[in-house]
């Protein structure tokens, strides 16, 4: 998903890129790092980051996604949802996976 978003022109910094992968960094610290770096958070940790959005609306944007094993489709959906958005400051963006039609 990260590579697909980068190919679409998004500046993506992963926890691994930041040297924080598998460190058990608390969600509050992840958000604080994003705010200090002037970056939006993109996460599958929906419940905790929706709570943090309510507690700290001064963030640079929080994008919460449902799990989707089709990373390309998820990246496309994120990209489409962000199109035309000049700033994510203070916004909570929800990206939900479409369920297959029956």
The per-residue pLDDT for range 41-73, each reduced to its tens digit, is: 999 999 999 999 999 999 999 999 988 888 898
Whether this prediction's pTM lies above 0.85 is answered by yes
What pLDDT, on a 0 to 100 scale, did the predictor assign at position 98? 63
pLDDT tens digits, 31-42? 999 999 999 999
Flag whether pLDDT at 90 surpasses 90: yes
- State how far the Cα of 67 lies from the Cα of 69, in Å rounded to an integer: 7
Higher pLDDT, 100 or 98: 98
Q: What is the pLDDT of residue 96?
A: 86
- Number of C-beta neighbours around residue 45 at 10 A: 15
């Amino acid at each position: 998903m990260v590579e697909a978003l980068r190919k679409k022109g998004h500046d993506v910094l992963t926890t691994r890129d930041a040297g924080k992968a598998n460190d058990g960094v608390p969600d509050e610290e992840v958000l604080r790092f994003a705010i200090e770096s002037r970056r939006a958070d993109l996460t599958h940790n929906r419940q905790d980051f929706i709570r943090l959005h309510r507690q700290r609306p001064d963030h640079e944007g929080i994008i919460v996604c449902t799990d989707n094993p089709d990373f390309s489709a998820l990246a496309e959906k994120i990209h489409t949802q962000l199109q035309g958005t000049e700033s994510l400051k203070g916004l909570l963006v929800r990206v939900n996976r479409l369920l297959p039609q029956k």
